[in-house]
């Protein structure tokens, strides 16, 4: 499964009302429908794919989350 397919599944989970928890060694981010809507209103994508890697918006920069643990609840 490539990064585009993974991102599509992640966004489908959020669209179905579930929450994504993206964790690394220091922090856990919570992404739900409200989060995606707020960033979309401002013209930003919370998650995107570039060079077969998944990136998440952090401030005004994107950080790679390909190696992070991602949990859907």
> What's the pLDDT at 59?
85
- Report pLDDT digits (tens) over 1-58: 889 999 999 999 999 999 999 998 888 999 999 999 999 999 999 999 999 999 999 8
Integer Rg of the chain from CA: 11
Q: What are phi and psi of 59, to 5 degrees?
A: 70, -125
> What's the pLDDT at 24?
86
Sequence-distant (6+) residues with CB within 8 A of 3 are 49, 52, 53, 54, 66
Catalogue the long-range contacts made by 36-43 (C-beta closer than 8 Å, 24 or more residues apart).
36/11
DSSP letter assigned to residue 18: -
């Amino acid at each position: 499964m490539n990064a585009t397919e993974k991102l599509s599944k992640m966004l489908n989970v959020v669209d179905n009302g579930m929450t994504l928890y993206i964790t690394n060694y220091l922090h856990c981010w919570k992404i739900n429908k409200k989060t995606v809507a707020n960033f979309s209103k401002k013209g930003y994508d919370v998650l995107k794919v570039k060079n077969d890697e998944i990136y998440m918006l952090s401030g005004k920069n994107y950080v790679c989350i390909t190696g992070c643990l991602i949990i859907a609840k």
